[in-house]
Structure 1
């Protein structure tokens, strides 16, 4: 009902505007001299008044002037008014010519110009009136810049970083929606030509280096980063500056995430730790990947884990014939099965509960599914736990991997990709040493098998089970302290999706025997990471939440490496993937492998009767650069 009332009101206003435009046009044409020439033409207009008005209204209706929401009128609506006025004037001329009547040409010009002014004026006057009633715009200026109560809620003072199209849209969106409880009082942009100018009525006060000063001066409560086209490094710099304030932060997703979607405040998300890595999105060769996954039977071991489950999600996009997730732990893989059924209802997705330790059980699985491609992600990975449980680390990470490698050869698997770790390089812990042995077994097998074996080595993944970020967040929820093992400890970090994308890409590039090393960017100081997580949680480090140094854990390094000195490194076709040269197995490992696996199995069974230190001695014999910390 309200809608039709507004349309009726607009129609009534337009009738008045159309006719007032003609009357004023006649007066202007005859210089306000209402003698005979004036009355002669005006009488002709009066006789056709109803028809001319009806023709113009019909044109306005056809061009959608009564379907726009004039509360949000902008440039698009102004263009529509101009076009509608021109078309309506042309239609009126056609009507008059058809009825063999005419007015002086200047009347048509004057009436068209006046139509634009009057039609636009009434509609924009309505918007100004609505804006004036809106507590987020004009009257916020009149009432002052402090916080004020509106319906019992405080108005948050907002700074928008980015004075481009996206920033303007966010500012307008906030102004038009008082229910958000926000008011933009400052804008920031790196373009010096924009300094002290205004965007959507908001002054551009400086560049991102002035964020802290401007936020303090204007008592800013919230900062919105609205630069979807900016690269990750630029966003990282801006977020670091914002972190120096105590303001809440929101960010607009990148342009790739906003394709076909309009910029609005609803698209804002919290600033996350990933925004502080300064990493550009991974680009993969979809054609290469599709070539070895599409229509194939793909198996992922450790399918319920952080890496394994993400592998399943991303592999599913490439339309495999069947996808099998193998895991010993049923809960996480059960949840994954439900997720995959919803996201990919056409995909044949099967869950197998099995341990990579049991070769007989694995042989049943291989016999049933006959996989073409295997991603082996099953492993024990927690460094301190494996230091105290070295036997289990050897059985799972070495014997389990050996079982998978042997069966892949036996059942003529096309590609086998081992998920390895930077901790396998000059290992200082049991976990790293077992993964290095797994790499060497794989490289040895690749020299005498038709299966293409390769390993992919990378560092920590943000948000994975047991990784540092979730631990920090839990500690913050408990009120602190946040614990860091050493002030100078650093780690390489990637997000789970980008690590998995590169693993899949490396699998496409593998020929056999390679160890691919992912470009992890610059190492991140864990102390800095802890401080940033605290800030992003809305607290101040060392004031609200303390940070406690606990000392290095058993087997833990200060700095991680991605490459052995002797491996060398070569570029690949992908700018984030490198490859190390294959190395022959050590004499001790060669001797262990001589009897095609039986010797390894016997030896692993033998370690169950050893003491933990003897197991570490056994590992050191296989991996000479294993730097044990006693």
Structure 2
């Protein structure tokens, strides 16, 4: 039925153009003779049409003028019409004069007819498209959602072009930041004013939606726009991220709700795709903690490089089942193995590595919740994050893994909690193992070298156990939102950006012999209370609707995180978002002592663990936040 409808429209368009040829030549004769055509020329006109009209029609068909729909007529269509008409204008006099046909055709008609034909064919299409888009008669559909677009750049222009074709939207104007564009029209839509005039135009035009189409705008500009929309009680939307637009995953017209990522204002990651193809394409890649937020996102990013096989190792059955269901549906062409296993279980690791022989390992498995690991679970945090890393790394060396990437955290810098100290200790274990690998290689006792890479980054938006899901749940329940301290801040990045930089660091690791600690450019720290306010606004509410309650710092919690210690200096890399920390690395004897300590230990209580951590991690201090700088445990409530 669709094909039949399409052919019907094509036939109508063909008949229209055939008649247009006749009309153009008739009008050309009329204009030439002031609407009084002599009888001889009338006969000449009739004789010419018998071969001119079919010739022109054949040219039009050969140029593919009937493959598209007039409703979507565009500049390329107009170019094809011009070329077809010009070709016809060349052929007609060639036939008449070169072949010396006995036909009376005034020169003025030969030049005038193609111009009139071009006007009729192009004009008909433009008028039809204007009518279909309800712009020619300025009709307004009551079902349209009226919208103002913020932005006047190329992205906003493309968005307007798409929206005016949509039956769901009516673009009533644009607001921008360039005074030179005021009053101009972009695809027929007027630039009304500047962005800060939004309240005036919302009231004047009665719009219900605002679309922010400024992918290069700063964080403050986007936040200001969102605040204005929240205050005005209208819906704020945005376009896909710059990275999605460039990759082709999404188009400008795929409008979506504003997310926290949009307010961070972080530039997209530029990856060394050629190098990553060398690292991952066709290789066996193993990811621990593959069911977690970081591990599963790493898997998604790795899929783009077509690995030979992806081995997903996870101790949580439900988490592994969830990603299995997703990945089998999304990536059916990639070979995958979904493996239940604990990184502390050496026998299981031996079995997995012997079967799959991975080339690259990304180690994302960890206990990471700071307060939970601080009380009653300190020993489990050390066993999993440190001893588990050691067992995994030793097996990786045994099976000649080329790259071993440890995902660490900014909480490992001058740690004040068990989780951070255990991750710092895991870093030191990998650095010590790197020294043993280099020593064995220099002695000729190992044929292949495993390169250890350590990547530190801060909080990931929306990751499991993070503050974002907690705030979202509290808002859903009507509040209050609980924040520990008005000054507490954290570094944040999107989970996609974090995973991409882990891959990039994994590729770059080894430039200094291995064991390097890569620090991500986390941008500026974000106050948690500002994050809470942003989430309230994104929910379409105000701070009067959702209260914010301060509860006091939790055990082991810092006011501000750091990315490097006082004893560590950082140097830039060839990637602008990655730096390498330069720190003293521990040796093999230190590692032997640590392993012996694990071998002789019973289950330790929290105080014993913290005392031992202070010995193994010199930077660790179980220090409490100053009573003057932190809030008391008494809840302090604020609104607005």
TM-score above 0.5, yes or no: yes
Equivalent position of 2:595 in the other structure: 597
* More deviation, 278-287/119-128: 119-128
Q: Find the aligned partners of 2:66 and 2:399 in 1 and give their Cα distance.
A: 70
Equivalent position of 2:515 in the other structure: 513
* Equivalence map 1:11-30=2 (5 Å): 13-14=16-17, 16-30=19-33
Equivalent position of 2:560 in the other structure: 559
SS in structure 2 at match of 1:100: coil
Residues 322 and 349, structure 1, Cα contact 8 Å, conserved in 2 = yes
* Equivalence map 1:43-82=2 (5 Å): 43-82=43-82
Task: Tell me the CA shift for residue 619 of structure 1.
Answer: 1.8
* More deviation, 333-342/545-554: 333-342
Equivalent position of 2:386 in the other structure: 398
SS in structure 1 at match of 2:519: strand
Equivalent position of 1:138 in the other structure: 138
Q: Find the aligned partners of 1:286 and 1:10 in 2 and give their Cα distance.
A: 47
* More deviation, 360-369/430-439: 360-369
SS in structure 2 at match of 1:279: coil
Task: Tell me the CA shift for residue 558 of structure 1.
Answer: 1.0
1:626 aligns with 2:620: yes
Equivalent position of 2:524 in the other structure: 522
Equivalent position of 2:226 in the other structure: 242
SS in structure 2 at match of 1:532: helix
Task: Tell me the CA shift for residue 21 of structure 1.
Answer: 3.2
Cα deviation per residue 1:585-622 (whole Å; 9 max; x = unaligned)?
A: 49xx966x4457233221xx33x1x4322322222232
- Report the CA distance shift for 1:483/1:85 in structure 2 as closer, same or farther (over 3 A): same
- Report the CA distance shift for 1:85/1:558 in structure 2 as closer, same or farther (over 3 A): same
Task: Tell me the CA shift for residue 44 of structure 1.
Answer: 1.7
Task: Tell me the CA shift for residue 482 of structure 1.
Answer: 2.0
SS in structure 2 at match of 1:24: helix
Residues 372 and 413, structure 1, Cα contact 8 Å, conserved in 2 = yes
Equivalent position of 2:93 in the other structure: 93
* Equivalence map 1:121-520=2 (5 Å): 121-132=123-134, 138-140=138-140, 150=142, 153=143, 155-178=144-167, 180=168, 182-227=169-214, 230-231=215-216, 233-234=217-218, 237-246=221-230, 247-254=234-241, 256-258=243-245, 266-388=253-375, 389-450=377-438, 451-510=450-509, 511-520=513-522
Q: Find the aligned partners of 1:502 and 1:553 in 2 and give their Cα distance.
A: 30
- Report the CA distance shift for 1:378/1:189 in structure 2 as closer, same or farther (over 3 A): same
SS in structure 2 at match of 1:48: helix
How many residues end up aligned between the 2 structures?
601
Tell me the TM-score normalized by structure 2: 0.85
Cα deviation per residue 1:152-173 (whole Å; 9 max; x = unaligned)?
A: x5x4220112334543443344
SS in structure 2 at match of 1:597: helix
Task: Tell me the CA shift for residue 557 of structure 1.
Answer: 0.9
Task: Tell me the CA shift for residue 343 of structure 1.
Answer: 4.1
Task: Tell me the CA shift for residue 377 of structure 1.
Answer: 1.6
Q: Find the aligned partners of 2:78 and 2:282 in 1 and give their Cα distance.
A: 53
Residues 420 and 435, structure 1, Cα contact 8 Å, conserved in 2 = yes
* More deviation, 522-531/9-18: 9-18
SS in structure 2 at match of 1:139: coil
- Report the CA distance shift for 1:256/1:42 in structure 2 as closer, same or farther (over 3 A): farther
Cα deviation per residue 1:80-122 (whole Å; 9 max; x = unaligned)?
A: 4433333333343345444432412111112222222333344
Cα deviation per residue 1:403-438 (whole Å; 9 max; x = unaligned)?
A: 223333444433322211111111111111111122
Residues 513 and 582, structure 1, Cα contact 8 Å, conserved in 2 = no
Correspondence for 2:541 among 528, 539, 542: 539
Task: Tell me the CA shift for residue 492 of structure 1.
Answer: 0.6
Task: Tell me the CA shift for residue 65 of structure 1.
Answer: 3.9
- For structure 1, list consecutive stretches of 5 or more residues without a partner in the other structure: 141-147
Task: Tell me the CA shift for residue 199 of structure 1.
Answer: 1.7
- Report the CA distance shift for 1:419/1:133 in structure 2 as closer, same or farther (over 3 A): closer
Equivalent position of 2:635 in the other structure: none
- For structure 2, list consecutive stretches of 5 or more residues without a partner in the other structure: 439-449, 625-640
Residues 453 and 517, structure 2, Cα contact 8 Å, conserved in 1 = yes
